[in-house]
Structure 1
Amino acid sequence: MASFLSPSIPLLFFFILFSSSFTPSATVVPTAKTFIFRVDGGSKPSIFPTHFHWYSSEFAEGPRILHVYDTVFHGFSAMVTPDEAQVLRNHPAVLAVFEDRRRELHTTRSPQFLGLRNQKGLWSESDYGSDVIIGVFDTGIWPERRSFSDLNLGPVPKRWRGVCQSGIRFAPKNCNRKIVGARFFAKGQQAAVIGGINETVEFMSPRDADGHGTHTASTAAGRHSFKASLSGYASGVAKGVAPKARIAAYKVCWKESGCLDSDILAAFDAAVSDGVDVISISIGGGDGISSPYYLDPIAIGSYAAASRGIFISSSAGNDGPNGMSVTNLEPWVTTVGAGTIDRNFPADVILGDGRRLSGVSLYSGEPLNGKMFPVVYPGKTGMLSASLCMENSLEPRHVKGKIVICDRGSSPRVAKGLVVKKAGGVGMILANGISNGEGLVGDAHLIPACAVGSREGDKIKAYALKHPNPVATIDFRGTVIGIKPAPVVASFSGRGPNGLNPEILKPDLIAPGVNILAAWTEAVGPTGLNSDPRKTEFNILSGTSMACPHVSGAAALLKSAHPDWSPAAVRSAMMTTASLVDNTNRTLADESTGKSSTPYDFGSGHLNLGRALDPGLVYDITNDDYITFLCSIGYGPRTIQVITRTPVRCPKRKPSPENLNYPSITALFPVSRKGWLTKTLVRTVTNVGQAEAVYRATVESPRGVTVTVRPSRLAFSQAVKKRSYLVTVTVNTRNMVVGESGAVFGSVTWSDGGKHAVRSPVVVTQIDPLR
């Protein structure tokens, strides 16, 4: 048998050493935390029938082990003290140890906006995604919604091996031919949260007490629901991107305590074993810091899933418009930013001097009917908490009977309105700060309220502070369709460059993520506040959380139409056919500034499913390619094994990470070197279109950069389906002007004379090689 013991350490002494680091009778240690242990599965002594027997005998007592991972990951999570974790870190069979980390959720007209049409194109070719199974990692699901009807759906695919897990208000009958499986993962939460999960506001089951999971699941794969709306807003037929795809709900996030890595990793383990085809995960780091892949359970779990042919879609995060704010950076995952659609919910602030300033709102209660009210800005007192309308910060004598101006930030937008209401205010104007710019999202406020951009907010504040008798009212204008320009890059959407490996452009693309109508839980009102008594079947939300399931549904359609495509091929089809212009035929704008955006904002562009069905050429990537990439960024074989499960060998000559066969192209040059510099990169394309085809390259060189492609002509036939080409980038670093973004941008496009245009963005930048 394979042994992890040092020959100089007797077996009995080894057991005593590691067993003595735990209290035999204790299952709860006051200073304990949850740690995840990556173990070399092949090191298990044969005397143990299972890995659990090994872990519980040698590493931690059985009651302290939370999850055992054996599908995407060999190892376990357990409650141990930091000192005990350090002891285990030195165990010869332990490859890596990392502390459990808390993640955050990145929180229907959009299918048409993506180019989907009934009875033709991708919907028709894929049979609306029938029989593709989407695993949704989120807050669970509210199964009784019309969006999850299984009317006229065929049998559950025979390859499905999952379960419908019972729990509070959830039974096997809650699954059907649409919701084919449901699980919940709570062991990490119960161990980490003092007092455990709050069962007065949460269900210990797959049932959704938050709403986020129901919303994302129905966005990806909701059935057609007629006469859908949120209190009259966005009325019409609600439907997901892949209406016939099946849903498997994996509840890993909890209403009050978020999402823990240990539970997320357990969900990956289950989903891969269950047989999902797509994983949609609108979850990311809540601290703004991206961990190396070998210390990131989402990266590890998603690698194992992708290596088995499962497409993973993840959200880019909501920390834009700051640069380097994009999350979920691993190259085997498709990272999705958010854009607007051509529908909006305008509300105007009318000042006493006659000015009308535009904003947005989803308020559906009693309107103000043009009545003017005094308007006040609590920020004039100099108290930050008052300007932000934080809990207990407003003096009723100052705001009673008035419309209150609140600054955005530090607390939920809808919660600020509740603070104003408690203090006696009659309405609220929510003003963006400079960091939010002009980006606006609608909220179903409990009082008459609307959000305005930074410029409008400054004008309203100046009026309220300087006018001797400032008054205002709010005019709610309902739903408006046909907004121009659209899409624009949402202000909050996570932006590049990639903070871990700038050689890989992230985000990959953007999709609708602003004011998206989808199904909602019965457990809470549309604001999500416990004090909101309203119930609604649908809700309108914004965030990269909403953009991610659009791409998950799109992947279901493409996998249904092309079952032989790899996850990388599916992503490539979306990226190389993405749109770069809005509905006014101008370059996609940045909502935060109104200026043109760049690939650091939108990646390859905006998802366009009218073209992705037939991309012509795709950039495919194998597991070996990913391993070569990990070698190229300096990971050693043991570190890579943490991610891949199996031992690997790196090439003797270190490869270049820029040569990963990604659909986008990035050339990095060191800031320390001056003068003329040249770099040559390689890419390989696979023909998935007409067998006999000839493609020619068109190059748009970035400003001040020369880009050439060799060969400039690629011919394909029945016998030749793959072709490689070289991209040579030449810069004069003394004259290179990169501007605010720190990079310059161009493109390489392969065209076959009319039907196909396969476009890759080109990013050229300088970096510190000691980053």
Structure 2
Amino acid sequence: MALIFSYGYGATPASDEYGNYIIHGDMSHKPTFFFTHEEWHKSMLASVYAEAGHLYTYSHVMHGFSARLCRAQLARLEQLPGHRATRRDAYAKLFTTRTPRFLGMSKNNGIWPVASFGRDVIVGIIDTGIWPESESFSDHGFAVVPERWKGACENGTGFTPYLCNRKLIGARSFSKGLRAAGLPISQDDYDSPRDSDGHGTHTSSTAVGSAVHGVSYYGYAKGTATARLAIYKVLWVTDTLESAATDVLEGMDQAMADGVDVMSLSIGFDHTPYYDDVIAIGAFAAVEKGIFVGRAAGNDGPSPNSTYNGAPWIMTVGAGTIDRNFAGSVTLGNGVAVEGASYYTEGASVSGAPLHYGVDNATEMVSRCGGKSGIFVADSTDHYPEDYIVPAVILRTSDASQVMDYINGTINATVLEMKFQITNINVKPAPLVADFSSRGPDPISPGVFKPDILAPAEDVLAAFKPDDSSSNGDYVPTQYMLESGTSMASPHAVGVAALLRAVHPDWSPAAIRSAIMTTAITIDNARETIKDQFNGGPATPLQFGAGHINPNRAMDPGLVYDLATQDYIQFIRGLGYNMAEMATIIRGTMWSCLENSPELNYPSFMNIIPGNDTSFPKTRNFTRGLTKVGDGPEDYHAQIEVPTGMKIKVVPEFLSFKGERDNQMFVISMEIDAELFSSGSVAYGFLRWVGSKKPHLVSSPIVVALQ
């Protein structure tokens, strides 16, 4: 019997007298007789009778430490000369193969072979740990570990240093903050870098997994799934999946000390100003040392103003679909066949079954009613492999009308056949902006264009812990899993950044991001503007960023919009933060700023118009600088594409570059009329610098949003 019905689709410790706090210190007050910072920090704690509360001393992400303190101890500590600022601990949440081919990557040409497959670039993943036995972390063919590496592999529950190799070169775990807050680690987790959740294993193998031939998820996504990997476990199974800010900071701090080249985080904290955002603080220090940082944009879509991790020194990655889907088919008694989404993992088929109609909200209802399978109807096909506890197909409402017409017009409706394990490739249109992907404008700094880029993030097949359950509830040794979320997007983008670092070791993190953004693709495989999965209509850059990532073009962008630490300091100063707030981000009080500093040299243009400001026309100027990358001179001319109601003038319209590292400035003058918003609150165009020699096309979105 088949049924058809509608299908709908961090804990914070209780506050008490004690709490975990992150203490920003003023290095200028450190007495010279203390040999290390940690000695000084513990001395400060001892002076307020709280030495035993020390958790971590941070040496790279910030100058300071974390400790568990009661309110009275904290009050005394805040009076000491070495104290600069205090932040209470916070708790993060997760933003939870065909993708290389969809990205145009080949083992024979393009960025993979040019970058020697990323060999000796070290990628740090801040996540739930690692399942080291996966074939995705095999070190077959790897040379010795680079001498510059300072990391290590820990001993712990279910984990020994011998599980690391020339591929997996570092594995550490951090949980002091979580434990001190009274959130005990579950017995289902491992007190070690071993991954009990699977998320860290999945993101790690997505970013830098070794090639594994013939892998699939129970018959779906059959196909083929080298940089070095270091894993930093900061997310733990408690009553839920928890991560304390104190532990995340220490993971980032240790990654920097160990010597990673790029860093990926698929977690996020609540929206706060940058001086209160531990990942923004840690990432600033990393970027200052030349470490590229990529972070997931979040899964709060399709709501606007929902991006996380939007600091301009971080590449913020949104989620896109790929040209593959997984399906089941239903053939009705009248011969009409319809296809819908399905992840049912068994090879079963249903034939000759009576078809009944019912309304409920859970797949368990099918089993309780004695049904053999289910046909569900949903406006969104949001679903996960673990949802398929019975043979089931999910139809979109538009496709379900044929089924309903048949049921309503037939006395004894039947299903002739249902089939599963169908993998479709070359699906169009693709990519789509995944409906769950967070969208801009950024809630903290709306004037900074976010998300930066779109990367594959739906139904990504990657390594997983080998004891996940199948659709019938039994535990089986599947080693690869389909997962969706911006958690999957960030490691894709960071993996590309690692390849670019291998090809261009002298590029700054900003240059790498610029290369990725200005070479991105805004057209799908149906040769139309990328669409929004949520409503099927055309998306905007506030949803797809600069476009979908294109690794091969990013290798040779022609020009980049570069940025240095001083540029970010100027930007932070312009936010109106006071001295103490600025110091928590840039780790000091000694800096200089220009009185009339230029705006951030970002590879995009964002103009926010207050909704209550109805006076038009409006004008604004943007100043930018472009740096030549690659040998030889080259000329570029500006190409503008804008909608009605927006006028753009570029001065100068032609730029001549003498050779590598040559820099040229230009100004965009924008004029906006009221008719720009006649069809919506967001309008956009593009500035493209077209090269005279190679097929260089340096593209930047120009976005105007009414808020």
Q: Establish whether TM, by shorter chain, passes 0.5.
A: yes
- Kept in 2: contact 1:738–1:765 (CA 8 A): no
- Kept in 1: contact 2:467–2:475 (CA 8 A): no
Which structure is richer in relative contact order (CA contacts within 8 A, separation 6 or more)?
A: 2
Instruction: Tell whether 2:511 aligns with 1:569.
Output: yes
Q: Deviations over 1:474-526 (max 9, x none)?
A: 43252121111111111111111111111111110111111111111124336
Change (3 A) 1:344 1:567: same
- Kept in 2: contact 1:72–1:304 (CA 8 A): yes
Q: Deviations over 1:247-278 (max 9, x none)?
A: 00111112343222111100011000000001
Q: Tell me, in whole angstroms, the C-alpha distance in 1 between the residues paired with 2:468 and 2:140.
A: 27
Q: Tell me, in whole angstroms, the C-alpha distance in 2 between the residues paired with 1:470 and 1:642.
A: 68
**Other-structure match for 2:253:** 269
* Correspondence for 1:192 among 159, 171, 181: 181
**Other-structure match for 1:492:** 436
Q: Tell me, in whole angstroms, the C-alpha distance in 2 between the residues paired with 1:438 and 1:213.
A: 25
Aligned-residue offset at 1:92: 4.7
Change (3 A) 1:430 1:65: farther
Instruction: Tell whether 2:662 aligns with 1:721.
Output: yes
Q: Deviations over 1:207-263 (max 9, x none)?
A: 11111111111111111111211111111221xxxxx20000111112343222111
- Kept in 1: contact 2:433–2:543 (CA 8 A): yes
3-state secondary structure, aligned to 1:578? coil
Q: Tell me, in whole angstroms, the C-alpha distance in 2 between the residues paired with 1:509 and 1:691.
A: 29
* Correspondence for 1:710 among 651, 665, 674: 651
**Other-structure match for 1:278:** 262
Change (3 A) 1:263 1:471: farther
Aligned-residue offset at 1:400: 2.2
- Kept in 2: contact 1:636–1:650 (CA 8 A): no
The count of residues paired between Structure 1 and Structure 2 equals 686
Percent sequence identity is 39
* Correspondence for 2:465 among 491, 504, 521: 521
**Other-structure match for 1:241:** none
Instruction: Tell whether 2:209 aligns with 1:202.
Output: no
**Other-structure match for 2:578:** 636
**Other-structure match for 1:737:** 677
Q: Tell me, in whole angstroms, the C-alpha distance in 2 between the residues paired with 1:102 and 1:461.
A: 46
* Aligned positions of 1:332-731 closer than 5 A: 332-349=313-330, 356-372=337-353, 375=356, 377-379=358-360, 387=361, 399-402=368-371, 426-429=372-375, 431-432=377-378, 437=380, 445-453=388-396, 455=398, 474-525=418-469, 532-649=474-591, 651=593, 653=595, 655=597, 659-670=599-610, 671-672=612-613, 674-718=615-659, 721-731=662-672
**Other-structure match for 2:199:** 212
Change (3 A) 1:461 1:502: farther
Q: Deviations over 1:697-730 (max 9, x none)?
A: 0011233011111000000113871001001111
* Aligned positions of 1:10-25 closer than 5 A: none
Change (3 A) 1:227 1:79: same
Aligned-residue offset at 1:465: 10
Change (3 A) 1:373 1:545: farther
3-state secondary structure, aligned to 1:695? strand
* Correspondence for 1:253 among 222, 235, 240: 235
Change (3 A) 1:582 1:62: same
Change (3 A) 1:76 1:554: same
Structure 2 length-normalised TM: 0.91
**Other-structure match for 2:10:** none
Q: Tell me, in whole angstroms, the C-alpha distance in 1 between the residues paired with 2:131 and 2:509.
A: 29
Larger displacement relative to structure 2 (262-271 or 41-50): 41-50
Aligned-residue offset at 1:340: 1.2
- Kept in 1: contact 2:221–2:423 (CA 8 A): yes
**Other-structure match for 1:172:** 161
Larger displacement relative to structure 2 (210-219 or 63-72): 63-72
Aligned-residue offset at 1:430: 5.3
Aligned-residue offset at 1:638: 2.3
**Other-structure match for 1:25:** none
Aligned-residue offset at 1:83: 5.6
- Kept in 2: contact 1:701–1:747 (CA 8 A): yes
Change (3 A) 1:526 1:178: farther
Instruction: Tell whether 2:54 aligns with 1:65.
Output: yes
Query: Which residue identity is paired with 2:297?
Result: A
Q: Tell me, in whole angstroms, the C-alpha distance in 1 between the residues paired with 2:524 and 2:663.
A: 33
Change (3 A) 1:210 1:532: farther
Query: Which residue identity is paired with 2:485?
Result: G
**Other-structure match for 2:689:** 750
**Which residues of structure 1 form unaligned runs of 5+?**
1-27, 239-243, 380-386, 403-425
**Other-structure match for 2:5:** none
Q: Tell me, in whole angstroms, the C-alpha distance in 2 between the residues paired with 1:353 and 1:708.
A: 62
3-state secondary structure, aligned to 1:558? helix
* Correspondence for 2:42 among 40, 53, 56: 56
- Kept in 1: contact 2:177–2:247 (CA 8 A): yes
Q: Deviations over 1:185-212 (max 9, x none)?
A: 1112222344x1012x111111111111
Aligned-residue offset at 1:462: 9.9
Query: Which residue identity is paired with 2:217?
Result: L
Query: Which residue identity is paired with 1:93?
Result: G
Aligned-residue offset at 1:90: 5.4
3-state secondary structure, aligned to 2:428? coil
3-state secondary structure, aligned to 1:451? strand
Aligned-residue offset at 1:464: 8.5
